[in-house]
């Protein structure tokens, strides 16, 4: 849609909007004024008719004739209503049919006249089936209050409004025609200049010496002047940089690796966007020393070494996170930097310029560290039960099989350590499946109270052995959006962890509460708690606050890590603090659910 079409459409739209607003305002105002005039006129006529009726003798006998006579003089329908509400005279109804009319005492205008002396209303008449304006006046007589009512059909108002609307529509059409004509003339002049500028701009793509030179002081002339300035600036830049520089710049812009160019003076000559984003470089770094921008002594040493030796070098450096509010990377970064000297004439002396390419290996080093730690921890955890099994087996093979009592003890050691190995392997497989998203979770509405009771029931015997009281304080009907098997594993791990790490005779409480569409599940014990220095690491794999005690209890060191992974897989979070009584408090937050939620 061209600018001419847009301008015409805009002009027509404004004209139509103005016409609609004007039509609505005029019709509403005129209708209100005509209605007010008609009501005032009808009120005056009612006063005059009421004054005439007041001079009548016996209204009970004269009402019908009097209503017909007064209707011609008043130019409106006249109705006379006696104190009981019965119609005794109506200019629109024959006298012999007056008895067929229902009582008028409940009509709005009649009721208002009886109570306040006068009444008005507008509605469709049940008698004539036409829209009527009513005005009524109370007439106090010895036999009681009569009501004189006049009704007027507002045909004149409707005709006046129809005529006015027709004139407004005619004026609107005329205004639209004038607006479209003016828009056509104005848009033709404007679009002609814009078409000319468009053509000049297209020619500038191939010939930067082309100029628009538009005369005038309006916005179009300013646009033409801006195009001329832009073409002149581009022509100057192209002469300076040349086509090779443009291609080089395009390559730097598209590179994912960071590129830093240092000139012979040791200042930054170029930083590509990838490096700016990687290291959080703000503002214009060009012309500043790299140590000032990047704040890395290792990088500074590498650049000086390459510049002076004029030989390429590679180094892995670490960039510390920037302080809040300052320029620099938001977190610690590990970078592999390949630096090489810029090509210089053979007779040049002194330091050379340097170009350095940065590869971000932070995530790679983190994963490598995790792998090393995991292998070391897993090996350490496996060594103890394997050594126990091997020692017991060697002892049995060495002659202990003949001693039944001793043989039974060694077999129990083998069985106990084999069970521990089994648990450890199962936990490692669970973590592997969760990390690799190989364990599908089917989240649905789960009754947390029933799930908690079921998990605690499995651990009652173990708690009874340690004389530990386990209490479930979860209101029935507390629903969470979770996978039933995963939630059971979380509850079992947390409650089992609390039982194992509290002294005999302790107390463990499982409670929950709903808040803001989430459900907060808490498992708290009254044991020794977890020192703050360890609270941030208890969810790490194989991490133990008390390694000797945990292994003695048969733990694998993976239960809390599995619980954390499962909670996060169900869009929840888990943390640990010490409760008011000093014991450990594990708090799990999961999405709430409604009774109608479907399993998925």
128 pLDDT tier (thresholds 50, 70, 90)? low
This prediction has a pTM of 0.39
Whether residue 494 has pLDDT greater than 50? yes
Average pLDDT over residues 421-438: 63
Cα distances from 510 to residues 436, 469, 492, 546, 572, in angstroms, run: 31, 11, 11, 24, 18
What is the pairing mode between strands 507-515 and 469-473?
parallel
Percent of the chain whose predicted confidence (pLDDT) is above 70:
80
For the segment 412-441, the average pLDDT, to the nearest whole number, is 67
Select the more confidently predicted residue: 49 or 552: 49
The answer to whether the CB of 478 falls within 8 A of the CB of 587 is no
Please choose, from the candidates 337, 273, 269, the residue with its C-alpha nearest in 3D space to the C-alpha of residue 306.
337
pLDDT over 50 at 323, yes or no:
yes
How far is Cα 315 from Cα 338, in angstroms, rounded to an integer? 7
The 3 state secondary structure assigned to 252-300 is HHHCCCEEEEECCCCCEEEECHHHHHHHCCCCCCCCCCHHHHHCCHHHH
Can you list the domains of the chain with their CATH numbers? 3-158 (3.30.450.20), 255-360 (3.30.450.20), 366-435 (1.10.287.130), 444-591 (3.30.565.10)
pLDDT of residue 347: 44
Whether the per-residue pLDDT at 515 is higher than 60: the answer is yes
- What is the structure's pLDDT at 384? 63
> What is the rounded average pLDDT of the residues 508-512?
92
Tokens 């730097």 map to which residue? Answer: 252
Average pLDDT over residues 71-95: 84
Q: According to the model, what pLDDT value does residue 3 have? A: 64
Selected residue with higher pLDDT from 248 and 226: 226
Residue (of 521, 504, 562) closest to 538 by Cα position: 562
Judge whether residue 81 has pLDDT over 70: yes
- In angstroms, the CA 335 to CA 356 distance is 11
- Cα 127–chain centre separation: 61
Q: pLDDT-derived band of residue 324, with 50, 70 and 90 as boundaries? A: low
In the sheet that holds 144-152, the strands lie side by side as 87-90, 77-81, 144-152, 131-141, 118-124
Residue 345 has pLDDT above 70, yes or no: no
Mean pLDDT of 321-340: 73
Sequence-distant (6+) residues with CB within 8 A of 454 are 488
3-state secondary structure of 520: strand
Q: Which of 185, 82, 198 is nearest to 140 (CA)?
A: 82
- Predicted confidence (pLDDT) at residue 80 exceeds the cutoff of 50: yes
pLDDT at 440: 66
Determine the longest span between alpha carbons in the chain, in angstroms.
Answer: 144
pLDDT surpassing 60 at residue 513: yes
User: What SS3 state is found at 393?
Assistant: helix
| pLDDT value, residue 524 | 92
Q: In angstroms, how far is the first alpha carbon of the chain from the final one? A: 48
pLDDT tens, position by position, 519-546: 999 999 988 888 887 777 777 766 666 5
Taking only the tens place, the pLDDT of each residue in 542-579 is: 666 655 444 444 455 677 777 888 888 888 898 988 88
- Return the higher-pLDDT residue of 56 and 136: 136
Other C-beta atoms closer than 10 Å to the C-beta of 92 total: 14
Write 393-402 long-range contacts (CB < 8 A, 24+): none
Q: In the predicted model, is pLDDT for residue 174 greater than 70?
A: yes
pLDDT of residue 510: 92
Name residues whose C-beta falls within 8 Å of residue 597's C-beta, 6 or more positions apart in sequence.
444, 445, 479, 481
Interval 248-257 mean pLDDT: 76
Position 54 scores a pLDDT of 79
Lowest mean pLDDT among 141-155, 378-392, 478-492, 500-514: 378-392
Q: At what angle do helices 448-458 and 484-500 cross, to 10 degrees?
A: 50
429: confidence class by pLDDT, cuts 50, 70, 90: low
Q: pLDDT value at position 509? A: 92
Read off the tokens for 555. 């733990």
For the cut 50, the answer to whether the pLDDT of residue 100 exceeds it is yes
For residues 62 and 592, which has the higher predicted lDDT (pLDDT)? 592
Whole-angstrom Cα distance, residue 381 to residue 369? 18
pLDDT score recorded for residue 511: 92
Q: Is the pLDDT of residue 105 over 60?
A: yes
**What pLDDT is attached to residue 551?**
45
Residues 6+ apart with CB under 8 A from 166: none
Name the one residue in this structure whose structure tokens are 């897989």.
569
The more confidently predicted of residues 393 and 400 is 393
Separation of alpha carbons 59 and 143, rounded Å? 10
């Amino acid at each position: 849609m061209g600018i001419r079409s847009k301008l015409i459409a805009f002009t027509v739209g404004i004209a139509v909007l103005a016409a609609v607003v004007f039509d609505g305002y005029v019709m509403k105002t005129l209708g209100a004024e005509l209605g007010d005039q008609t009501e005032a006129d009808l009120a005056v006529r009612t006063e005059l008719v009421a004054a005439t009726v007041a001079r009548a003798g016996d209204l009970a006998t004269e009402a019908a004739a009097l209503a017909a006579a007064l209707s011609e003089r008043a130019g409106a329908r006249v109705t006379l209503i006696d104190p009981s509400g019965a119609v005794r005279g109506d200019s629109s109804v024959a006298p012999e049919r007056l008895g067929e009319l229902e009582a008028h005492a409940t009509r709005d205008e009649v009721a208002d006249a009886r109570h306040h002396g006068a009444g008005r209303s507008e509605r469709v008449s049940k008698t004539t089936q036409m829209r009527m304006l009513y005005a009524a006046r109370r007439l106090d007589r010895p036999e009681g209050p009569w009501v004189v009512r006049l009704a007027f059909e507002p045909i004149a108002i409707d005709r006046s409004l129809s005529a006015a609307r027709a004139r407004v529509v005619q004026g609107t059409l005329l205004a639209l025609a004038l607006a479209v004509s003016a828009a056509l003339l104005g848009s033709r002049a404007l679009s002609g200049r814009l078409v000319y500028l468009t053509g000049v701009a297209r020619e500038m793509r191939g010939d930067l010496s082309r100029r628009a030179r538009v005369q005038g002081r309006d916005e179009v002339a300013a646009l033409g002047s801006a195009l001329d300035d832009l073409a002149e600036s581009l022509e100057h830049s192209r002469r300076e940089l040349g086509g090779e520089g443009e291609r080089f710049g395009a390559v730097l812009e598209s590179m994912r690796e960071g590129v830093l160019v240092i000139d012979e003076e040791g200042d930054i000559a170029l930083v590509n966007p990838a490096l700016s984003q990687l290291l959080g470089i703000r503002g214009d770094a060009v012309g500043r020393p790299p140590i000032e921008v990047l704040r890395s002594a290792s990088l500074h040493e590498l650049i000086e070494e390459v510049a002076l030796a004029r030989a390429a070098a590679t180094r892995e450096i670490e960039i510390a996170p920037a302080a809040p509010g300052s320029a620099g990377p938001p977190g610690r970064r590990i970078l592999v930097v390949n630096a090489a000297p810029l090509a210089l004439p053979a007779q040049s002396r002194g330091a050379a310029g340097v170009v350095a390419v940065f590869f971000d290996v932070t995530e790679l080093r983190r994963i490598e560290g995790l792998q090393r730690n995991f292998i070391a921890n897993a090996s350490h955890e496996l060594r103890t039960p394997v050594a126990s099994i091997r020692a017991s087996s060697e002892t049995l093979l060495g002659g202990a099989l003949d001693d039944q009592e001793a043989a039974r003890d060694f077999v129990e050691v083998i069985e106990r350590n084999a069970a521990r190995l089994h648990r450890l392997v199962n936990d490692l497989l669970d973590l592997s499946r969760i990390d690799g998203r190989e364990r599908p979770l089917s989240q649905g509405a789960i009754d947390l109270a029933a799930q908690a009771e079921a998990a605690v029931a499995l651990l009652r015997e173990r708690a009874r052995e340690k004389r530990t009281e386990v209490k479930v304080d979860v209101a029935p009907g507390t629903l969470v959006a979770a996978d039933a098997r995963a939630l059971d594993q979380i509850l079992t791990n947390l409650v089992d962890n609390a039982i194992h790490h509290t002294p005999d005779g302790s107390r463990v409480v499982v409670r929950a509460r709903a808040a803001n569409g989430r459900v907060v599940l808490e498992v708290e014990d009254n044991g020794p708690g977890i020192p703050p220095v360890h609270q941030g690491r208890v969810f790490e794999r194989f991490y133990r606050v008390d390694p000797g005690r945990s292994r003695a209890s048969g733990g694998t060191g993976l239960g809390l890590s599995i619980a954390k992974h499962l909670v996060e897989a169900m869009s929840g979070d888990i943390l640990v603090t010490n409760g008011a009584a000093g014991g450990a408090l594990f708090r799990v937050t999961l999405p709430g659910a409604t009774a109608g939620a479907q399993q998925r």
